[in-house]
Structure 1
Amino acid sequence: MSTIHLMIVDDHEVVRLGMRAAFELEADISVVGEASNGAEALAKIPTFMPDIILMDVRMEKMGGIEACREIRSLYPQISVLMITSYPDDEAVTASVLAGARGYLLKNVSRAELLKAVRQVASGQALLKPEATQKAISKMMIITNKSHSVPGDDLTEREREVLALVARGYTNKQIAEALYLSEKTARNHVSHILEKLGLSRRSEAAVYAVEHKLLPPRQ
């Protein structure tokens, strides 16, 4: 019987201790290491080389989903099993897209936790069909967007706002430049980020420059 080498990643020490205790009496599962966030896990993987990483979704510095994406890219042989305190459809979908092999809630019983780790170790995925389908649908949307003309679905006003974001304007400055209320300017920025599939203003600025969406200065 081969031993499953497990790494536990959670930003709460008490949670890590509890999980470690759940595996201590299992002859086929060995906890080889711990980490308090995704960045620390990535730094420790070369030392511990686990077969499976049991990882919290939400952590400071680097969350589980971002870390999962990096781990699956750098160490495709390692399986990641996500675990969280709260059910969240978006987080499940994001976990699937990041390459996670399973998703659990922290209120599972010890027996269910052990079963999940062994299932993932045997090569099985621990994901509900609807979660996988949502991930596939989201990936199709992303793929379709990648084939569209950059910024093509932005309105003329949103293009103006994007240009100002790229030039470092704050919402207040955008509002003053375009004779809008600050709330309207903020809403435009939010809609732009959503349409472009971005999460930060800095990303929008880079996108605008890379795709030549900036009009010449007057």
Structure 2
Amino acid sequence: MIKVLIAEDQSIVRSGLKMIIEQDPSISVVAEAENGKEVLHLLESIVVDIILMDIRMPVMTGIEATREIRKKLPHVKILILTTFNDEEYALEAFKEGANGFLLKTTDNVTLVNSIKSCLAGGLSIHDQVAAKLMPKLLKQSTLHNPIKEIPLSERELQIVQRIGLGKTNKEISNELYLSVGTIKNHITQILCKLEVRDRTQLAIYAVKNDLI
């Protein structure tokens, strides 16, 4: 069972999200919070797999909470769910370790699939946000020559490229004819070489360095 925590300051929105995602029998909402501070408090006593996190909340914002959660519970996935189609918010969220960024206008099926994708190691970005975010990252990549600066083998580059496309470890293993364990080992080595924290930052790295 996938355990979800919903962090959203409007109770009617929390209720709607709970109703939507619990239509899938494999997902259960185990806790709700009105702000980031409540999320941190709840995580001291409950175990969750993924957090649906609003950005603008009183007391502590979703981005501030994401930053703190990454320090204490790096294994917990965080899917930002917001009304703000703003690439700056998305960049900041991913910088702090978010695993996805969706708008509240997303459809029910996409929301449920994004939850499962994040848990499988994928990266979910709402297409409207991606349309604004990707050109900005690509523009930044023109400031330097990435080919000479990337200390990765051909196999590692293939893996980073696929992470940049949002593929899961299983999908990458199928495409490259390697075991999931081997893919995980490669990713661990890649993270060390590039000095980045997680696969979300790897995906951003892939885009910024024109690898996809």
TM range (shorter): 0.5 to 0.7
Find the aligned partners of 1:91 and 1:82 in 2 and give their Cα distance: 10
Deviation of the 1:50 alpha carbon: 0.7
Find the aligned partners of 1:110 and 1:129 in 2 and give their Cα distance: 21
Match of 2:41 in 1: 43
Pick from 50, 53, 58 the counterpart of residue 52 of structure 1.
Answer: 50
Tell me the SS of whatever aligns to 1:46: coil
Match of 2:91 in 1: 93
User: Does the CA contact (< 8 Å) of 1:9 and 1:41 recur in 2?
Assistant: yes
Go from structure 1 to structure 2 and tell me whether the alpha carbon gap of 1:96 and 1:129 turns closer, same or farther (over 3 Å shift): farther
- Percentage identity across aligned positions? 35
User: Does the CA contact (< 8 Å) of 1:12 and 1:36 recur in 2?
Assistant: yes
Match of 1:121 in 2: 119
Counterpart amino acid of residue 113 in structure 1: L
Unmatched 5+ stretches in structure 2: 144-212
User: Does the CA contact (< 8 Å) of 2:6 and 2:14 recur in 1?
Assistant: yes
Find the aligned partners of 1:99 and 1:86 in 2 and give their Cα distance: 18
Find the aligned partners of 2:88 and 2:116 in 1 and give their Cα distance: 26
Tell me the SS of whatever aligns to 2:43: helix
Deviation of the 1:129 alpha carbon: 9.1
Structure showing greater Rg: 1
Q: Over the residues paired in the alignment, what is the CA RMSD in angstroms?
A: 2.3
Match of 1:156 in 2: none
User: Does the CA contact (< 8 Å) of 1:102 and 1:126 recur in 2?
Assistant: yes
Counterpart amino acid of residue 26 in structure 2: D
Deviation of the 1:46 alpha carbon: 2.2
User: Does the CA contact (< 8 Å) of 1:93 and 1:134 recur in 2?
Assistant: no
Find the aligned partners of 2:8 and 2:93 in 1 and give their Cα distance: 16
Q: TM-score w.r.t. structure 1 length?
A: 0.58
Report matched runs for 1:24-35 at 5 Å: 24-35=22-33
Unmatched 5+ stretches in structure 1: 141-218
Match of 1:197 in 2: none
User: Does the CA contact (< 8 Å) of 2:87 and 2:132 recur in 1?
Assistant: no
Match of 1:179 in 2: none
Could you list the runs of 4 or more consecutive aligned residues of structure 1 that deviate by over 6 angstroms after TM superposition?
none
Deviation of the 1:27 alpha carbon: 1.4
User: Does the CA contact (< 8 Å) of 1:96 and 1:131 recur in 2?
Assistant: no
Report matched runs for 1:1-218 at 5 Å: 3-127=1-125, 128=130, 131=133, 134=137
How many correspondences in the alignment? 137
